[in-house]
Amino acid sequence: MFDATKVLIPFPKKIEDKKKDVVIGVTNNPYYVLEANGEGFVFEEAIKLFRTKMTECALIDGDSGLPSYKIVLNLTEAGGDIAGKSEAYTLHIDSQAAIVTAGDEAGIFYGVTTLVSLIHMDGDNVCLPILDIVDYPDFKERGQYMECRYGSDFLTLDDYKKAVDYFASIKQNTLTIGLYGCWSVQYDKKRAEYLYIPFKKYPQLKTPRDIKYYSVNERKWIYRKDVLPEMFEKDYFAELVEYGLKKNVTIRPFFNSLGHNTLLPRMFPEISAKDEDGTPRSYGFCTNNEDTYKLMFDLYDEIIDSYMKPYGIDSIHIGLDEVWETKGLYEHDMAKSVSPYCQCEKCRGIEHTELIINYMIKLCKYLKSRGMKSVYVFHDMLFNNGDFINEDLKQRFIKEDIYDVVVFDWWGYRRAEDQVFHGNFSKINSIFRSVIKPITGYYHWLFPSQVNNNIKILTKRAKELGYEGVGAYSSLDECYDKNYKYCADLSWNADTADDEDGFESRYINSVFGSDADEVAKIMPAMNDLMFSDCGSYGVMRTLSYYFYGYFDPNKVYPSNYPGEAFATIKANYDEFTQEYKKRYDYAVKALDVLDSISPSHMCDVWRLIAAQYKIVIDVFLSLIDLEAKCNDASVEEKEIVTEIKRLIKDMEKLMKMAEDVRIKANQYIFIRNLEILRLSLVDLLRYVQTEIAEGRYPKFDVCDMSSMRCGASKFLA
């Protein structure tokens, strides 16, 4: 028997399920009549949503003319529990009709979203449960911030449209899209710079990157040089903004400055932060230089005029996070520590916090003059470095007439209250307009992780403080499906936060359907498998090439990977191997079930996650074991070759799964990282076979296989 309470995400405020179905159609005959009392493009999308679902179930669409079941959409002045509430709706389903009532188009859209999630098949019958729902969100803003990093630069418009549809289906109403951000030198010894939109006034601003990976499906290297971001080349951001509005999803641009900023000061050295002798640093801004503001105002003007104003978008995110000194910015001098704070005559001697506040004020005043009603800024530089988000700053912003538009974005990605916000969890405040930012998933090129506790504690805190919304830090990948849905569940109805088992059940039932009981047996193992404190840190971080790609002045660069990982494991052998073996067992248990249930795309997504943990852990533990056996000559030569070939085959199986399952834009960086590990096995196999052919028993040190590295390994570093 279908149970509505076991599938709905997010969970409604009030639901009375009669535990009885009504038939609204049969295969090849949807006998319903739709009465739509309302108008508007979001209202029209709600109608399309229902008709599309019925087409999937009944194979054809349209009113049959037979004795009919009524579907009624009433956009009217709503009363009762939803009176005066935005995005609220009621849903009444009985034996004669299903009636959605709401006071705004968004409410109709979300009511229909709930309605279609309740449509189910019983044999050839298309059914709905008889029930009543009263529903409305806890937070005005609910969504994700999509970071401009690996993979997102090659997302197509179609990828983003599917993402909008997906997030709208779980009642998320905001997607903040990163359009500009910069990091230090990493892959290919280049700075990681990302600009996703072209500027007509500054056509020289571009961020091409190389794509390098080995395709198992094609059995060849894929190498594309100087590839520009898909959004930049197609200039489709405006079309994405327009598409989002149809689904009640605001697409908000994010364009960082000060922190995460090397492209602009490198291309325009006159605005760059400078040494005392006037030498530009190609990092940070001189915030007392009018040329800096001319450039930034030009850029923001073009964003507003091209992508926002035509569509009524009046909110923008300007970042201002992580403005700090860092290394690895200069390819020619990786060890040099570079500060983003200018030391020219006008800037030197001014406190760093004051420089940031002055810059923030000028930007926010200008953006308000351009019609922005909300300007989002990250909290960290004014909170972690002295708790400046206080009443004094409030009075200053009131005087500058920007208090009404500034929205602080409080981000923290740890899972425990005593760790998140640098141990100041209880001190975050609501002096300013605010939203909160848990993490749903960022490192999609590493080991996908489960971060529910972070989402839970931050969302509950945001509700306590009366924050305007929840906008998680994320990247777009289906491996974070469960995290996205947990965040959506809590940001719509924070009262479900303490019912984690209830969410778990609803997630499994809604995703795996008839196989839910089998999957429920292994989901605790998957949770433990994917558990992490933040992203993919902890012991799993040790195995991932990505973290070794950063410059470390105390280590060789490019890094000795996987040798350095093996050295870390050996130095913490008992602790690490115990954890790896435990996670390996979780992965095996999960795969046993996932390999046996009904095939589906989401099943494949979960299989890829489990296989990644299983295979990568196996490579590391097996090589440590093989090294020990080789070095005391306790294994036959042919067995050495057989074992290495097995590991290579498993790595290629994993890489093929990624090519078959992952969003295409995200495949290359995921596979590139895996390929570096696979190549180390290929190099080792070549070495072992050569030693055997020349009559020597092979011995090796997993902590230093650099002498075996082939040209391809060096090419990817």
Residue of 28, 115, 112 lying closest to 64 (CA atoms): 28
Say if residues 256 and 187 touch (Cβ distance below 8 Å).
Answer: no
Backbone dihedral angles phi then psi of residue 96, each to the nearest 5 degrees = -110, -30
Residue of 709, 681, 564, 685 lying closest to 615 (CA atoms): 681
Angle at the Cα of 569 from the Cα atoms of 568 and 575, rounded to 5 degrees: 120
Angle at the Cα of 508 from the Cα atoms of 413 and 138, rounded to 5 degrees: 50
Q: How far is residue 574's CA from residue 565's CA, in Å, rounded to a whole number?
A: 15
Segment 216-248, tens digit of pLDDT: 999 999 999 999 999 999 999 999 999 999 999
Angle at the Cα of 416 from the Cα atoms of 410 and 420, rounded to 5 degrees: 30
Place of tokens 């299989």: 607
How much is the pLDDT for 311? 98
Segment 520-536, tens digit of pLDDT: 999 999 999 998 765 44
Q: Which amino acid is at 258?
A: L
How much is the pLDDT for 709? 83
How many Cα atoms sit within 13 Å of 415 on the Cβ side?
14
In 103-252, where does DSSP find H-type helix? 105-118, 157-169, 230-234, 237-246
How much is the pLDDT for 28? 81
Residues of the chain below pLDDT 70:
60-67, 533-537
Tell whether omega for the bond before 137 is within 30 degrees of 0, i.e. cis.
no
Residue of 238, 227, 224, 363 lying closest to 292 (CA atoms): 363
How much is the pLDDT for 533? 61
Residue of 186, 189, 194 lying closest to 475 (CA atoms): 194
How much is the pLDDT for 532? 77
Concatenated DSSP letters of 184-208: EEBTBT-EEEEE-S--SS-TT----
How much is the pLDDT for 66? 56
- Three-state DSSP state, 220: strand
Q: How many CB atoms lie within 10 A of CB 157?
A: 15
How much is the pLDDT for 30? 78
Q: How far is residue 145's CA from residue 256's CA, in Å, rounded to a whole number?
A: 13
How much is the pLDDT for 92? 98
How much is the pLDDT for 354? 97
Backbone dihedral angles phi then psi of residue 600, each to the nearest 5 degrees = -160, 165
- Three-state DSSP state, 112: helix
Q: Identify how many contiguous H helices and E strands the chain contains and give both numbers.
A: 20, 21
pTM over 0.85: yes
**For the chain, what's the residue count?**
717
Q: How far is residue 677's CA from residue 670's CA, in Å, rounded to a whole number?
A: 12
Six-digit token string for 422: 């640098």
